[in-house]
Chains A and B, each alone.
Chain A
């Protein structure tokens, strides 16, 4: 059974078609990279999968664990096991990281019929997961992303992923804005979260990130469709030949 099955997905924003018949199948335990030039629909795909407002699906279907993902609200998708690491994580002044994660983790536990965590267990869990991305636990009492550097924001995304233990994590341009040290820390964090019951989708422009997070499959998203799929070597070809090469391949 596929974890995620996207069939003939068409989506538009403000009446402008962006996704034009996208097909993709992802199984548990796999890491997929989706590459493509600017405007090809990479971030739209992430938005549509996570239920962001303003995007309209005009055709096609998305099945997650054999049920209709598109029928769920954004919070229900998260509780069902989908996680998005944002390309541009927003700053939320006045909401502490600890309170934010406590609300999120307990909502997910309630959804799954589990008991909510008490304060002590929760703090232990947060400290353990923060260590995964080498974050000092003092950040937990700070407001979500407020005054964080680009690297800290991305680490916080991976920290949240570790806390929420999704079955499908979508990392949207997680490498953007990272220096080489932060890139290493973030990638290490992601690699530690690779698991047989979890799939990871890495959306990126550049092959660089894939040296750190090595994918099982690479797909090329171009003009709203997956035009080419392969293994990690495909990323190297793209790096060498550029996306213009696809024009030739297409015809």
Chain B
């Protein structure tokens, strides 16, 4: 069964069995109209989704239950709240919700009808809306500080066959409330996977969302992630996207600053190897005055890999006193690696402070020589400098066990002795 046949089959199975059939049907008809995103669309010019052509599904494949021991190493801290999804379904026995329901209301997404899109930015989101099997609906009341981070683990277990799963999340955060969310997607098995996760966040006044997306999956894993964030006045959104392994990653982050005095920070680090393809797209829309956004992405590219950075900031006419800063820096370690970077500013207000910039190059020879002149081997000097470059981003991660976990992964990848 190929990808198109799989879509047809999944849709027939899910329609009427879970969620809102009408919303699913509308989304499917839109998907059929707009199709998969392709090179003709500016935002997808460099994004090759041909991996989908090689997908081979076998519905007779029986997946054994995932054991705790198989996911234990993925758990950042056993103390943290944890929601675990396996192959499209919520797994309560692997999850750890403790007393979380004292703080928040949690529903399974498949049992709720919520948030229909006004428009679909691309075909993957329409597909996600029509096929999502599960996800979480989190409602945090006013004045609630979640005492521990919530880690959401999406586990895909397969043998040799392909797996396609879709999740949809909605999180609304009340006034003066705060939550930290860690997203982890991981494949256990040898087959190709494609996972789409569409999450919509509504941040109430003076609320805070810290979102950590740690992407380190198998060499046959493919991921599409969509995050839409609506920020009310004085709210704070900090996003971390750390991508260090997978076949294909596309992150779309859309931020709407809908109240005054909002702060937004998007931080990313990517390290691409072999034929990997990682793509970070973001759009920050400053609709109201006196908001600040800060976007910093660092990338290291090796092998014949490709990375794309596209950051767009729109400052609307009303959004006076906006401060918007954006930077994308890249180190290329091989002649066959490609980076496509495009920082974009569209400013329609006159009293603003904005800057953007992109760099690409190799490691600085002067830095290398300085380290080597002190007796450090060239190999070690390189990994020290690359690690330093990555740490500029990871240093800002406030959850200590997460930061050390990521830094451990990185130092293994960057071969620091």
Contacts of A144 in B (CB 8 A): 370
Q: How far is the CB of A73 from chain B (nearest CB, A)?
A: 7
Task: Check if B389 sits within 8 Å of A94, measured CB to CB.
Answer: yes
Task: Check if B367 sits within 8 Å of A104, measured CB to CB.
Answer: no
Asked whether A60 is an interface residue with its Cβ less than 8 Å from the other chain, the reply is no
Q: How far is the CB of A224 from chain B (nearest CB, A)?
A: 23
List CB contacts (< 8 Å) of A48-100 with chain B.
50-53, 73-75, 78-79, 83-84, 86, 89-90, 92-95, 99-100
Q: How far is the CB of B415 from chain A (nearest CB, A)?
A: 14
Q: How far is the CB of A110 from chain B (nearest CB, A)?
A: 10
When each residue 375-392 of chain B gets 1 if its CB lies under 8 Å from chain A and 0 otherwise, what string results? 111101100110111011
Task: Check if B388 sits within 8 Å of A107, measured CB to CB.
Answer: no
When each residue 342-382 of chain B gets 1 if its CB lies under 8 Å from chain A and 0 otherwise, what string results? 00000000000000000000001111011111111110110
Task: Check if B385 sits within 8 Å of A107, measured CB to CB.
Answer: no
Known: A94-B389, A95-B388. A107 touches B367 (CB 8 A): no
A75 to B377 Cα, complex, angstroms? 6
Asked whether A164 is an interface residue with its Cβ less than 8 Å from the other chain, the reply is yes
Known: A86-B370, A103-B380, A107-B380. A93 touches B375 (CB 8 A): no
Partner of B365, one of A53, A79, A83, A104: A53
A18 to B397 Cα, complex, angstroms? 50
A108 to B380 Cα, complex, angstroms? 13
When each residue 116-159 of chain A gets 1 if its CB lies under 8 Å from chain B and 0 otherwise, what string results? 00000000000000000000000000011000000000000000
Q: How far is the CB of B383 from chain A (nearest CB, A)?
A: 10
Q: How far is the CB of B374 from chain A (nearest CB, A)?
A: 4
Partner of A108, one of B364, B365, B370, B375: B375
Contacts of A99 in B (CB 8 A): 384
Contacts of A95 in B (CB 8 A): 371, 384-385, 388
Q: How far is the CB of A174 from chain B (nearest CB, A)?
A: 15
Contacts of A143 in B (CB 8 A): 388
Task: Check if A78 sits within 8 Å of B373, measured CB to CB.
Answer: yes
Asked whether A160 is an interface residue with its Cβ less than 8 Å from the other chain, the reply is yes
Closest to B392 in A: A94
Task: Check if B391 sits within 8 Å of A100, measured CB to CB.
Answer: no
A164 to B392 Cα, complex, angstroms? 28
Contacts of B365 in A (CB 8 A): 53
Task: Check if A53 sits within 8 Å of B369, measured CB to CB.
Answer: yes
Contacts of B392 in A (CB 8 A): 93-94
When each residue 35-46 of chain A gets 1 if its CB lies under 8 Å from chain B and 0 otherwise, what string results? 000000000000
Contacts of A245 in B (CB 8 A): none
Contacts of B384 in A (CB 8 A): 95, 99-100, 103
When each residue 160-184 of chain A gets 1 if its CB lies under 8 Å from chain B and 0 otherwise, what string results? 1000100000000000000000000
Q: How far is the CB of B228 from chain A (nearest CB, A)?
A: 33
A104 to B372 Cα, complex, angstroms? 9
Task: Check if A50 sits within 8 Å of B373, measured CB to CB.
Answer: yes
Task: Check if A104 sits within 8 Å of B391, measured CB to CB.
Answer: no
A73 to B371 Cα, complex, angstroms? 12
Task: Check if B388 sits within 8 Å of A74, measured CB to CB.
Answer: no
Contacts of A83 in B (CB 8 A): 373-374
Task: Check if B389 sits within 8 Å of A92, measured CB to CB.
Answer: no
A contact residues, total (Cβ < 8 Å): 30
Task: Check if B373 sits within 8 Å of A90, measured CB to CB.
Answer: no
A79 to B373 Cα, complex, angstroms? 9
When each residue 140-157 of chain B gets 1 if its CB lies under 8 Å from chain A and 0 otherwise, what string results? 000000000000000000
Task: Check if A75 sits within 8 Å of B376, measured CB to CB.
Answer: yes
Task: Check if B378 sits within 8 Å of A73, measured CB to CB.
Answer: yes
Contacts of A51 in B (CB 8 A): 372-373
Task: Check if A78 sits within 8 Å of B385, measured CB to CB.
Answer: no
Closest to B386 in A: A94
A239 to B369 Cα, complex, angstroms? 34
Closest to B364 in A: A90
When each residue 196-234 of chain A gets 1 if its CB lies under 8 Å from chain B and 0 otherwise, what string results? 000000000000000000000000000000000000000
Task: Check if B388 sits within 8 Å of A75, measured CB to CB.
Answer: no
Partner of B367, one of A53, A92, A108: A92
Contacts of A101 in B (CB 8 A): 374
Partner of B371, one of A84, A92, A164: A92
Q: How far is the CB of B397 from chain A (nearest CB, A)?
A: 15
Q: How far is the CB of A16 from chain B (nearest CB, A)?
A: 19
Contacts of A107 in B (CB 8 A): 375-377, 380
A99 to B371 Cα, complex, angstroms? 11
Partner of A100, one of B369, B371, B389: B371
Contacts of A73 in B (CB 8 A): 372, 378
Task: Check if B388 sits within 8 Å of A94, measured CB to CB.
Answer: yes
Contacts of A104 in B (CB 8 A): 371, 374-376
Q: How far is the CB of B359 from chain A (nearest CB, A)?
A: 13
Closest to A81 in B: B375
Task: Check if B370 sits within 8 Å of A75, measured CB to CB.
Answer: no
Q: How far is the CB of B224 from chain A (nearest CB, A)?
A: 31
A53 to B381 Cα, complex, angstroms? 15
Q: How far is the CB of A142 from chain B (nearest CB, A)?
A: 13
Task: Check if B367 sits within 8 Å of A90, measured CB to CB.
Answer: yes
Task: Check if B372 sits within 8 Å of A89, measured CB to CB.
Answer: no
Q: How far is the CB of B396 from chain A (nearest CB, A)?
A: 12
A127 to B381 Cα, complex, angstroms? 24
Contacts of B364 in A (CB 8 A): 90
Known: A83-B373, A90-B370, A107-B376. 15 other contacts (CB 8 A): A73-B372, A74-B372, A75-B378, A75-B381, A84-B373, A86-B373, A92-B370, A94-B385, A100-B374, A104-B376, A107-B380, A108-B375, A111-B375, A143-B388, A164-B374
A–B complex contacts, Cβ < 8 Å, 14 sampled:
A75-B377, A78-B373, A78-B375, A79-B375, A86-B370, A90-B370, A92-B385, A92-B388, A99-B384, A100-B371, A101-B374, A103-B376, A103-B380, A143-B388
Smallest CB-CB A-B distances: 8 pairs: A94-B388, A78-B375, A104-B374, A74-B372, A79-B375, A75-B372, A95-B388, A107-B375
